[in-house]
Every structure is written in structure tokens, then in C-alpha cells.
Structure 1
């Protein structure tokens, strides 16, 4: 059964915002006390957070679909809906987040580092929040926005100072088991190590981590063996340690050819040329192994490598190796630029940025794109004429109508707001009135106007009866 997963595709969905409420306050002797509809709650976010206690992406391999909760709708009495609860997803240190095209979205290193993978939708405003001096009693509310839906790829790259690389059965697992307290599986057959193992080594005042990467073979960078799956785990290391087997039983192999083959794979993988290399000649406790180590040591040193002869089984040469690696790691840490305090970067918009664009697409069709117009469309209840009129007002104030005229739009042309796959299309009428005509001028409600005098009401009622009688006489067939 799979116990280690370092790459998964995750489908995340943030919560939808709750709808606003359209309500009118009513009580005894005050049947129309004004709008009191509350706002909808915000949808919950999906947040990835680095947790040191998590070492694998196994949970997301079995359950790749994750969704935050929705915001609650607003209610009458100026009661706002409850916000949706954020969904916190713990990930291992060193997790890289990519989109489906391979573009890196975030690199999560360090306990507590977080990334909002999907943002919850805004809650819709209730009619109490939409009331103004011109629109005293809105008969509508705004809808909540849908939350973001994303397909992302999580890829774990082990955070270690030292990476042990080499052929299968070269003794990497044995070496990490004696240098640290790690207890990886050790056996005398190839590909014993199927997942990276991490260990913590203390050498004097320096503490560093060491990773045992599953065995590499020629062609690993193209997917042969296990190399392609785990080469990513050496990307963050400060030093690469070549573990060479001096007692191999395969006649076509020797330490120099093994080194050349592994270096070729690292070169093909890319991005590791700047890492210092150390060579460890392992298994010198075997007589033939010591002889071969003595034979190749001078050739390795001529190539510029620091060479250490060790025996993981007999625990020979380990102290010198441990302190040498600590020295290299300490130097690498000192050379890293110090992390600067977080700075707030302000990027003001250009003075001529209208916040939207109008483009002509074929004959008689114009497309409007922009954060505000698209958000306003998502928040509009198109079954409510007054809400549609409110949308028209907002678009007009933003300047959409003016830009459509400049682009050459004429009455009756189609206007699409939003992307091609999810757009609202309507026939454009310049300075159109929509929705609120039934209430008189847009934003006004005759129900809240001052009452007319009794004499005026009687006069108006008599005029309505006279008009009805004239219409009857005109259409009476007899």
C-alpha cells in the first residue's frame, strides 16, 4: 500500500458568498418601516499551510477534492449571514504549488507559510445596504459571488542540506542510518529505498539535515528506474554527496564510471551545476573495496573532488565526513542573502485605467471585460427588473456606455460581459431604462411618498372612473 506520495493533483473549491436579503421592516402602526435586509456572509477560503508534522501528500492522493463552506444568506432585521469557514490544508515543508500548465504559483518553505489556493466569494449586499437618498426602498438585493474553483498540482521537494546520490545498493541508506537517528530500510538488493529518507546530523555546533534519495541509474532523468520521481528532492540541497560502491559485484561497473553516469543524469535534469560535490567511497571494510578505493582516489582528487573513504557497517571514517559536510553546509548558509523584513509594495493604477475594456468581436458584437463589470453581473438577479436597472446604472456610471459608443456600437448590437465561456449577452440600448420604471423614476418608491390630501385622492379616483367609462363606451360593440 502506498505510504509516501510527493506529487498530487488537487481540486479545490472555495465557498460561495451568501445572497443578500430584500426585506422591509414591519411593525404595528408602521407597516412599511424601511428596508432592513442583511448582507450575505463571505465564502470560506481554501488555504495551504506548511505543517512540520506532515511529511507526505498521501491524504490528498486519496481525497483530491476539497471544498470550503458557503456563506449564509442575510436575513431581515438587518441580520447579516455567517461567513463560511476557511478550509486549512496542511502540507509538508518544501511543497511547490503549480497550475495545470506547470507555472509555479507558490513555493512553501518554512513552518506556518501559507497560500490561499482558492478565495471565497463575496457576500451579496442586502437592500438595507443598497438604500440611498435616491433609492429609499430597494426591492432587490445583490447575489453572493461564487467562490474560486482551481485545479492545482502539489509537488514535494524535500528541504535538506545534504543529498546522498548514487546507484542502487551503493550504501546510501546504511550511511544515513549511522550518521543520524534515521532508520531506513536496509537490504542487499537494488531499489530497497522507495521513498526519500531524512535524518538530522549534529557535528559540533552545526546541525543539518541529510536526505537519502532512491537509487539512480542511467536514464533516470528520462524516467528510468525511480530517478525521475525523486530527482526533485535534491533541488534544495546545499551539497551533493556521491556515494560510490567500491565492492560492487557487477563486472561492468567501477566507482569512476558510476560517478560519470550519475553526473550525466544530474546534468540532464538541470539546475544543480552550482552545488558543491563530495565523493564518498563506501564499503572499504571489504578487502577488495579498500584496494579499489586506493586505486581511484587519486583520479577523483585530480577532478577536484573531496574524497572520503568510509564503511557504514564498520563505522569507519564517519566523523571526518560528518564534520566536513557541516563545514560546507555552514559556509552555504552564511553565503545566503539575509531575509529582509516584509515590505509593502504599492502599485497604483494608471491614471487612464478605466478598469474595463471594450473590444469589438465581429459584426454587431462587443465584449466588455473587467473585474468590476464581471463581478456586478455575477451579483445581479436577472429575474428582478429593479436589480437589472441597478446594474445598468452602475455600468453607465463606470463609463461602459460611453466606451461602447466610442467603439462604434449602435442600438440593438449585442454586448457580452465576461469571458466567452461564461458571459451575459444582451441587446444594447443607449441610456436604456430597466426595471424601476414600474416604480416611477429609478430608485424611487411611491409607497414611501408623503400621503396625498383626501380631496386630491377623491378627485383622482373620480378621474380614474371617468376614464374607465370612456374606454368602455368606445369599445362597446352595442
Structure 2
């Protein structure tokens, strides 16, 4: 038997971008062929798409980990790497995407609606794309960026026209089983229904969908019983139908008090959606279904309370799901309410992609003090952090290219204004380095060979190993005289 899953946690990873290629064109009689390294391919995105043919999150329950395709590295001969394949995940209509903090970040309504959960990493540029007037044959290429990694929660809120609400054992499952082809579990004990059941009801030449959700008890809005599992699935219903057991034998319950208790729980429930697009539950049309009138005492009870509900303007239908009494009147009454709602609220169209370009003069980076490093600074910004991820720090020319980019962006000047001193720690992204303001950057320099940079060939600054050695000598951990004797 298939399981109904309406809440899952997904661990998603977009594809990494491919690395750029470092290559020089070699051909007979062409000694100066120039760079011809291609660019790396883009990593694939992880995309959620609404598919009306999908009705549950069961597939994600068994396979919660998903990764998009990686971009291929560039190759010589100006051949770019192939882009990674996007990973498209089909979700049911009504799926809400929640972030790690539990806040909704997307409401998937409307067939074909797409939402990119994780973006693939950009491919690195090959050395052919990095060639310039001052750097005619770059001996390096940029690395591909890693793809985004996100943990999201998918929560399904059923898309139905009518929601059947009522106390446990009120006859909701029996009702949906006789007016549709749904076959829910039916038994004579409470909470028989543990998952929503959807039924398609034919009314003339048209159809409506009805949701039978788990039974409600007082305190459900605070999580008692199956409370939140129940309430989640009626948020998007156009009509709420109170199914009342008129043959109930409990002395402290009657149809009027049952409906009042249900209304109190509906009023207390707060949706996780900021805007479900259908207004508050208190504003939805109501219908009262007085069930089990095949029992003589229940029929009398139905007649006694009918006037109370009709005075509120709520349509009242006395039925018997077992004896099949009053079902046609109920179906056509529900259909009229649903048809009016459909006319006022046409089906949601797929969301259109809106591009919002970043302002040209917007701040591209920010300088802040490093709270974990005395005298240190942190450079924040999408561009600097992306450049750090693209840099191969084992290649001096690539490091020099990074220094030129940061200088042209204004990072060097901003650090000076912020009070940075030579040798202080500067952190960009996941990389920390010692700042050397005397090193020329952002200017044209003579190249001394591919993969090298003359700025790193010689320096008067003491290296890290030498500084470590001197510190150990000062602390008495190393005796320099003994080392000389050795």
C-alpha cells in the first residue's frame, strides 16, 4: 500500500562549475600560437517544478539527497566544457518550500511554476579568455565555483475544492467513499484517518475535489491529536464542510457544540504561509452536513438544530452516508459554492521570471574589523568572495591576477582608509592572508614566464617560516647555538 507523505527534508546540492583550461596553441610553423584554453562549463541547478500529476512527496521520503550535474572542465583548442545537467524535481501543487529556519521561501502553486533552490557554480575562464594587452599568454586559468548546497523542507498543503472537517468518527471517510471513488480506511474507532484522502466527485458534466482530513479535537491548533497535520490540509480549500455526527451518544456533546468547537480551532490556527492567496479560514464559505440521519434519534436531532445553522446563513444538508440519503442535494450544493469560487479566483498561472539588475553604483564590498583577529579585517562582498573561490593559489600568476582585480575594485584603498597596517590579517571568504600594501597591484608589469609573477619572486619581508623560527627562539623553545653545533 502506498504511503501519503506530506512533509520531507531535502538535502540538495547544485553542480560545481568546471575549471578553465590553461593551454597554448601548438602548430607547425606557428611558434607564437597564443593561449587557447577553453572555459569550464556551468554547474547544473536544482529546480522544483509543479506537476499536477504528482500528488505526494513519497519519492523524496526515500531519496532525500539529490545533486545536479557538474560542469565539465575546458579543453585546449578553445573548446569549452559542457554545462552540467539541471536536476528538475517534480512536486505536487500546493507545496510550500521552507528554509532552514522554518520560514517559507516559495509557495508552489500553478502548473509549471519553477523555483531554483540551488544555483550551479559558474565555470572558470580559460587562459584564452584572460588574455589582455599586458598579459598576452596567461599561464593560469580560473577555477570553477562550487555549487550551492541547501537543506530545505517541503510541506504539502492539499489543493482541494472542499474540505471535510469534523470530530473523529463523524463519518467523513464514509461520506467521501460513497460520493467518489476514494477508498479510505473506515472503522468504528477514532483517528481511523491518519492521512488526507482526496476524492473526485462528478457533478453533472463537471467535477470537484473533496479532501477528507484527519479528525479534529479541541486543542488541535496547539498540536493536540493530529492537529497541525489536520489543519495544514484545509488552508487551500474553497469551502469548509462541517460533518456532524447527529447520532453521537456522549452526553456532553451535541451538533451545535461540536461546530462551535471546530470554529474555535479554525479561528485559533495560524498558517505558516504569509499569504495563501485565499484569505483567512474564517472567511471561507461554510456548509453543515448533519450525518447519520438513518438513525431515528439522529433525524430528530438534525431537525432540531437545522434552524440554528441556517440563521447563520450556512447551508444545511441532512444526509446518511450509509443509507445514501441526501447525497445528490449535498453534491450539487457544494458544486454551486465551488463554481462561484472558481469564477472569482481563476487558476493560478505559473510565476513569471522577473530580472532585477543590480544598481551600477551599488556597494560591491564592505570592510569590517575581524572580531577573532586583533588588528585584522574582513572583506565582504559577492565579487571579492567569488574571485577568491576562482583563484588557484598554487599559481603565482593567478594570485597576482587576483591582486590586480582587488586593487581595481578599490579594496586596497578601502583597507588603507580603514586603518589597515602592513602585515595585518585580511580575510576574504575562506582565505586569510597578510596584507602587503607595498606590493604594486592593478598596474601593468613585465611578465617573466607563464605561471609566475615578478612581484612574488623576491621580497624584503620575512617569510612565515622565518618568523616562526624567531618566535620559538624568543620563547626558548629552540637554542640557536645548539643548532649551529649540529
TM-score by length of 2: 0.85
Does residue 143 of structure 1 match 2:154? Answer: no
* Kept in 1: contact 2:110–2:348 (CA 8 A): no
Equivalences for 1:308-457 in 2 at 5 Å?
A: 308-336=317-345, 347=356, 349-350=358-359, 352-361=361-370, 363-418=374-429, 423-430=430-437, 432-433=439-440, 439-440=447-448
* Kept in 2: contact 1:9–1:151 (CA 8 A): yes
State the structure with more CA Rg: 1
Equivalences for 1:43-82 in 2 at 5 Å?
A: 43-82=43-82
Distance 1:308 1:147 in 2: 57
**Cα–Cα, structure 1 residues 157 and 78, in superposed 2: closer, same or farther, change >3 Å?**
same
Query: C-alpha displacement at 1:212, in angstroms?
Result: 0.7
Give 1:295's match in structure 2, choosing from 301, 304, 317: 304
State the secondary structure of the residue aligned to 1:305.
Answer: coil
Distance 2:350 2:192 in 1: 44
Distance 2:222 2:128 in 1: 62
**Cα–Cα, structure 1 residues 388 and 317, in superposed 2: closer, same or farther, change >3 Å?**
same
Unaligned runs of 5+ in 2: 271-279, 455-486
* Kept in 2: contact 1:206–1:330 (CA 8 A): no
Query: C-alpha displacement at 1:257, in angstroms?
Result: 1.9
Distance 2:300 2:89 in 1: 53
* Deviates most, 197-206 or 301-310: 197-206
* Kept in 2: contact 1:54–1:90 (CA 8 A): yes
* Kept in 2: contact 1:135–1:444 (CA 8 A): no
Distance 1:184 1:347 in 2: 48
* Deviates most, 257-266 or 383-392: 257-266
* Kept in 1: contact 2:18–2:74 (CA 8 A): yes
**Cα–Cα, structure 1 residues 338 and 151, in superposed 2: closer, same or farther, change >3 Å?**
closer
State the secondary structure of the residue aligned to 2:155.
Answer: strand
**Cα–Cα, structure 1 residues 178 and 340, in superposed 2: closer, same or farther, change >3 Å?**
closer
**Cα–Cα, structure 1 residues 351 and 25, in superposed 2: closer, same or farther, change >3 Å?**
closer
Query: C-alpha displacement at 1:241, in angstroms?
Result: 0.5
* Kept in 2: contact 1:137–1:443 (CA 8 A): no
* Kept in 1: contact 2:407–2:441 (CA 8 A): no
Query: C-alpha displacement at 1:9, in angstroms?
Result: 0.8
What is the match of residue 273 of structure 1? 282
Query: C-alpha displacement at 1:20, in angstroms?
Result: 0.7
Query: C-alpha displacement at 1:152, in angstroms?
Result: 0.2
State the secondary structure of the residue aligned to 2:282.
Answer: coil
What is the match of residue 468 of structure 1? none
Q: How many residues align?
A: 442
* Kept in 2: contact 1:137–1:444 (CA 8 A): no
Unaligned runs of 5+ in 1: 447-478
**Cα–Cα, structure 1 residues 264 and 341, in superposed 2: closer, same or farther, change >3 Å?**
closer
